[in-house]
Amino acid sequence: MSSTVKNIIYNALYQVFIIALPLITIPYVSRVLGVGNLGINSYVTSVGIALSVVILMGLNQVGVRSIANAHDDKLLLKTFRGLWLLQLLMGIVVCLIYALGLVSIFPYKFYFILELPYLLSYIIDISWFYIGIGKLQNVIIRNTIIKLISVMCIFLLVKSSSDLYIYILANSLGQFIANFLFWLPLLKKFGKRVFHFKWIESRPFLKNNISVMIPLVAVQLYTNLDSTLVGTLSNTIQLSFYDQSQKIARIVIALLNSATMVLMPKMVKNRNNKDSFWKIFKISLDGTLCLSLIFMGIIIVNAAEFVPWFFGQNFKPMILNMMIVSFIIPFISYGGVFANQYSISEGLYKEFSIPYYFGAVFSIAMNFVLVPYMGSIGGTIVITVTELCVCFLRMFLVRKRIDWKKLLSGEWKFVIALLITCFSMTLVHFNIGSVFLNLAMKSSIMFMEYVLLLLIMKDNFIFTMMLKLIKKH
What are 13-46's pLDDT values in tens digits? 666 677 667 778 888 999 999 988 988 998 888 8
pLDDT of residue 71: 76
Which H helix or E strand runs over 146?
A: helix 137-157
Share of the chain above pLDDT 90, in %: 31
Which H helix or E strand runs over 253?
A: helix 247-261
pLDDT range class, residue 6, cuts 50, 70, 90: low
Can you give the pTM of this predicted structure? 0.79
pLDDT of residue 68: 76
> Degrees (nearest 5) of the Cα angle 243, 326, 334?
115
**Hey, where are the domains in the chain?**
1-223, 229-473
Higher pLDDT, 361 or 212: 361
The DSSP call for residue 459 is -
How many H-runs (helices) and E-runs (strands) does the chain carry?
23, 0
Q: To the nearest whole number, what is the mean pLDDT of the chain?
A: 83
pLDDT range class, residue 193, cuts 50, 70, 90: confident
Q: pLDDT per residue over 441-458, tens digit each?
A: 999 999 999 999 998 887
In 3D space, the residue among 155, 154, 168, 176 whose CA is nearest the CA of residue 91 turns out to be 176
In 3D space, the residue among 14, 300, 21 whose CA is nearest the CA of residue 148 turns out to be 21
Q: Do the beta carbons of residue 410 and residue 284 sit within 8 Å?
A: no
Q: What is 328-388 written as a DSSP string?
A: HHHHHHHHHIIIIIIITTTT-HHHHHHHHHHHHHHHHHHHHHHHHHHHHHHHHHHHHHHHH
d(CA 303, CA 313): 13
Considering only CA atoms, give the Rg of the chain. 23
d(CA 375, CA 369): 11
Among 154-158, 337-341, 450-454, where is mean pLDDT lowest? 337-341
Neighbour tally for 210: CB within 10 Å: 14
